Homo-oligomer: A and B are copies of this chain.
Amino acid sequence: MSHDDLRRAGFKHRTRVADARDRLLAAVTPHDRTERLALVDADGRALAETVTAARDVPGYDRAAMDGYAVRAEDTFGASGRSPSVLRLAAGDAGGEDDPASVPPGEAVRVHTGSELPDGADAVVMVEYTEQVGDEVEVFDALAEGENVGDADEDVAEGQSLYDPGHRLRPSDLGLLKSVGVHEVETYERPRVAVIPTGEEVVQRDPDPGEVVETNGLTVSKLVERWGGDASYRDVVTDDEDALREAVESNRDHDVVVTTGGSSVGERDLTYEVVDDLGEVFVHGVALKPGHPVALGEVDETPIVMLPGYPVACVVNAVQFLRPALKRAGHLPDDAPPTREATLTRKVPSEPGVRTFARVRTETGEEGLEATPTRASGSGILSSVALADGWVVVPEEREGLEAGATVAVENWEWSA
């Protein structure tokens, strides 16, 4: 059989997307490189430690209402008809003339959030009081702790806040700072080497028959959006030895990804080189566009071999590179954000094949409408780059009808 025939035969048994992904992830070991970062530098990083609160927050009892701090027992029996009368201490709690304490029979003006003075154990809302000269009439009987926020109301000392692998967000940084944490142990961003290949691929204006390198650029930027650190390498055009050298020399990365190499001519160099150096465990996946993807490993390094056609490249990067990168870097592999829309035209698909239909979205009278872009092939970069998202047709469906409610995935989201 010719190599073409072999390839066609091999692709007869295309692996399902979920199985291919599982197989790849089994070959990905989360790395163990950590670095200690100041909070201000840690947004988006995965925690490499369990964080426990070093102190109570707010750290002191405080008034939960505007009113007067009192001893609850001084208000026992008070009511609208029969107020308790307390002596008003000068000054405001929390102000410059802060009275340090509330002696029996006295009341101190407090505002929401201010520290409860010593001795006080309740706050009477200003609405239930009347100030008369230097006395305060209290028209409500208070229970101990009423309208008081406890010192550990927000966070208690020793409370476990975050587990390793939690991806830090801006509000997390605020909470960590409030509990006295100033630096956090985080995992480094996962390192991804991006190697564009293909004898016709050039990094300059192309002559006829040549193609400008775009896949490596797009994939590198996707890697960064997904929380990784991309090394965008030179195009490998030469031969097997050059490709072998490129794969070998980038094995210090957590994931090696190649693009292309099979779009012109019969040779599928990348496949051959990786198969020779290590193992290719998936070759051909039941998805469209972009089935000729290959997944493998060389020693412990997972290798994602993306097809050279730009659309196929992006589809497979999202399906395979993203989860591999996330696992390598201890990052949560969140589902992509989706928006609900109504299909304006039918989307054909083949049963057993997961299909990614690029759509443009527009707000119509009945809400968001999704119109498939021309789907004339996996080589049409504009069908991706000018789209607003894609609709996934699962393997068990045979197309989607016009008028169907669909979820439009934003595959380029950052996270």
Contacts and interface: CB of A to CB of B under 8 A. Distances in A.
A380 interface: yes
Interface string A69-101: 000000000000000000000001011001000
Interface in A21-49: 39-40, 43-44
A14 interface: no
Contacts of A66: 4
Copy total for this chain? 2
Nearest to A156: B382
A212 B153 CA distance: 16
Among A64, A111, A180, the most chain B Cβ lie within 10 Å of the Cβ of A111
A265 interface: yes
A249 interface: no
Interface in A401-415: 410, 412-415
Given A66-B4, A113-B263, A379 B171 contact: no
A217 interface: yes
B94 A314 contact: no
A395 interface: no
B154 A413 contact: no
A58 interface: yes
Contacts of A161: 382, 385-386
A214 B412 contact: no
B177 A209 contact: no
Contact of A112 (B174, B220, B263): B263
A264 B58 CA distance: 14
Contacts of A213: 177
Given A114-B264, A217-B40, A208 B59 contact: yes
A259 to B, nearest CB: 10
A169 interface: yes
Contacts of A381: 57, 154-155, 171, 174-175, 178
Nearest to A385: B175
Interface of A: 4, 39-40, 43-44, 57-60, 64, 66, 92, 94-95, 98, 111-115, 149, 153-155, 161, 169-175, 177-178, 180, 200, 205-206, 208-209, 211-215, 217-222, 224-225, 232, 263-266, 309-310, 314, 335, 337-339, 376-377, 379-382, 384-386, 410, 412-415
